[in-house]
Amino acid sequence: MSTSAPGAELFRTEREVNLYSYSATHSQLLLRSDRMPDVYERLPTTLEVLFSPVEAVQIQELYRGLVIWCATEEEAARVYDGIADYYDPRPEYLRVLVLASEGVTGYVVTGGVGWCEGELSPMQPSFFHTFDAYDPLWPVTPLAGVGGEFDIASPQEVAQAFLTGLPEGERRERYRYVHVLTAVTERDGRRSRHNLGVFLTETDAEEAMRVVEPHAAMCYVEQLPAVL
């Protein structure tokens, strides 16, 4: 976030904005909007606002319209007085941002804020968490790092997906980790890699691996997300 003058408005929307996700590992806070207040139908585009890193916060779960501005010196002083036990002196890299909606204000003490609006694929968890070649695992959460894991699907949901399929057009916001058994075989001096099976529990995968091990040059079990 570029340094802005105290009191300068940074962001404004008339949309309904929800507290969507928090990642404890990277101290990231994500707000999301895909509809207008009191309107059930989703808009063609999704709007996301990301704060990172977040050091202190006082926000609402839901905003009916939202304005964000850089705190004035007086507003920032009031915030820091309330968290003086943790941030005294004030870290220079942090900024106090005020969030206001329908006459109610809150704040986020953060290093930066950014936002993005566009068409969000049902298979993409967020604009701010995409595939990374250095960590080649399909992202299943809106933000990288440790979260609440509230999106993990139950065994019943997995079974239902196999039995009835998945609804068209709905967001894929549920997942469950499965265990993939892979074996490496060797023949005529050449090695080949084979994915042998997908198991819902680690115990079953390891039992299957014990059966395969005597017949393979190497075998191992990987944990991968099954996206529902």
Look up the pTM and report it: 0.79
Residue-wise pLDDT for 105-154, tens only, equals 999 999 999 999 999 988 889 999 887 777 777 888 899 888 766 778 88
With pLDDT > 90 as the criterion, what percentage of the chain qualifies? 55
Q: For the chain, first and last CA: distance in Å?
A: 35
Count of CB atoms situated within 10 Å of the CB of 140: 20
Give the single-character DSSP code of 214.
G
State how far the Cα of 155 lies from the Cα of 197, in Å rounded to an integer. 18
pLDDT of residue 148: 66
The three-class DSSP label of residue 19 is: strand
- The DSSP line for 23-82 is ETTTTEEEEEEEE-TT--SPPSSEEEEEE-SEEEEE--SEEEEEEEEEPPHHHHHHHHHH
Residue-wise pLDDT for 9-40, tens only, equals 999 999 999 999 999 888 999 999 999 999 98
